Structure 1
Amino acid sequence: MVPAHSHHSDPPTQPSRVDGRRASRLLCVGAALTVAVAGCADEPVTPEAVAPPLRTNFPAATAGGACVYFDYDTIEKAIGVRFGISAASQSGQTTTCVVQPQEGELPDLALTISKTSADADIFKDEVVPDKGATAVKGLGLAAYSTPVAATKTSGPGLEVCWLTKDKRLMSLRFTSLLDSPPPPNSLAPQMVGLAKQVESAKPPKKS
């Protein structure tokens, strides 16, 4: 899934504009999700435990962490949005990747992965939101999609979260531009399709 090179990437001399604080915030969201599931976290998440995000405008996988499951071409083909900069961060058993366009901070797409000992029943009882979630079939052991409300600094979005057969808690969250309308209904199946590709991706072997 991860290409050896990308002709869309900017030269290494161009500085990245990924907001490291945003990447860290998304990492904490994933960590909190893990802690909410009984037996998911081996250690508590503290501010000191969150590693500074590594930012790169090389191919997404260059950032490491969860970014090794991403590449810009695959994302664009799946959801129709082109990204060009990635940022990865990790805390404990949770790793996160955020990808953004070459220009501006939004829209963005975040992938969060956590190891877990939860089963499908715990996932449904403890992770699936009480309101707004739609069950997703054919993705992992259990999965759902849910709309994400807009904030003062970002537009509305959509999240797909699922429990894999090899005991990973994975989440894909798309956030749109500020003041954008809610994502079209077509985004949910597109995100599910991307989630399936992410889950089945084989990260590059470490040299």
Structure 2
Amino acid sequence: MEATCVTMTIYIPRMYGINNFFNGMFDKKSIKQCEMKIKKMEKDIKKHNQIYKKLQDQQKVCWLANRKVTYKLLTSKKTNDYIDENLSAHEERTTQKAINKVKKHLQETLKQAKGTEQKYQILLEQESRIRSSVRKLEQDIVEMIEFQVNERTRTSTPITSRIHSIIPIQTIVQRMSSKYQFIVPKEFNEKNGCYAKLPNFELINREFRR
């Protein structure tokens, strides 16, 4: 998948479907190794799912924090403008306490907004790491399947084992897989802006098909 794509799809193969497709060409050890990687990938997908949900929630928190900052900045400006235009020097001194209070609230709001943004950035980094892990496992599984098929076809070439010479192993894996599809958050934010809502992810279960 190209790095410029916003939508990413991860395929979750089922070894018994792929093994049946190749007429039992995989030995028990190879199947077990693949299944272990598939279980690890499913576990990481669950983690990614959780982080992605947290990102969606944190995005809303950031929006709220930024709205508060905008409101406090506007209030502070209006207060200062009113004092400059309407109050005498004596009256201005008596309202200094109120002005300081407005400034303090503004600084606290700015600090909170910065904190929510930092948390969002941390979640983005976590999402990127776990997504890379899932992607790597998916690639490892495809390579293991491809290696196993190539090894077996050196000494035996039944019709079904030659299919991969016409149809890429990656395509076969996709046909024998469930599909986990989601938006890459960082790329989505860069393309659509921080106020565009992150879309939901989707897990599509498929029937095995040739």
Of structures 1 and 2, the one with the larger relative CO (CA 8 A, separation 6+) is 2
The question of a shared fold, defined as TM-score above 0.5 by the shorter chain, is answered with no
Structure with max Cα Rg: 2
Between structures 1 and 2, the one with greater helix share: 2
Query: What TM-score do the two structures reach when normalised by structure 1?
Result: 0.19
Query: What TM-score do the two structures reach when normalised by structure 2?
Result: 0.19
